[in-house]
Amino acid sequence: MIEIIPAIDIIDGKCVRLSQGDYDQKKVYNENPSEVAKMFEDVGIKRLHLVDLDGAKAKHIVNHKVLEKIATTTSLTIDFGGGLKSDDDLRIAFECGAKMITGGSIAVKSPDVFRSWIDKFGSERIILGADVKNEKIAVSGWLETTDADLLPFVRSYKEAGIDKVICTDISKDGMLQGPSTELYKKILADMPDLYLIASGGVSSMKDIEDLQEAGVPAVITGKAIYEGKIKMKDLADFLR
């Protein structure tokens, strides 16, 4: 069964969502992210994708206290991302309760640092974040697109030991218009044993079922839950 991983995005300590990564298109859904995390845990969710959007902008960890609170008040397995650029950022994230971290921009701009993290912590704890626009990798909270092509980029890190990749299609993110299922099929056709985590565009349980049918191992969903397109009962029923 496909693993459903809800996302909590944090700005100013609050649970928010952006549309297509645009900080000017911000909507606050809850002032208390740990309350949201608890609701997910209560319906049977095991994993949480926690994104420090302030950190992504500041290029260092910012909302580690939110991470710590969720980690100490739930038993969710948290993967944490957003602005992790140094060994010190990683130390703080792991000390505050993250079981895994996601590195995106760092994997493009400082590959030596990211590879050293893979060597030091292993593929169990390091996830590659491959944010993509027109199959080109995007970085810095999606504020810039690079010339790096998606498949060779992921393949190079797979050879370096990565086995979990979150692939977000920026054009779909927060738009509730369906995920890039064809893109995910293309990635899995190239690397069938990759633990690919689809992200962006999920608008309904049917989207999740379609991704499962396409063989995608895991999916991140955020806005569809916050906008009531996917209800907590839907998640509970699916997980049952």
Torsion, Cα 187 102 78 87, to 10 degrees, reads 150
Distance, CA of 173 to CA of 22 (rounded, Å): 10
Tell me the sheet residues that pair with 18: 26
Q: Is 9 a catalytic residue?
A: yes
Whether residue 229 contacts residue 177, with contact meaning beta carbons closer than 8 Å, is answered with no
Tokens 């692939």 correspond to: 167
147 carries an active-site annotation: no
For residue 76, give the DSSP letter: -
User: Which of the following is catalytic: 131, 169, 173, 207?
Assistant: 131
- From the candidates 9, 52, 173, 207, give the one annotated as an active-site residue: 9
Q: Compute the residue count for the chain.
A: 240
Could you tell me the CA-to-CA distances from 117 to 91, 96, 107, 155, 156 in Å, in that order? 11, 18, 10, 17, 15
Catalytic residues: 9, 131
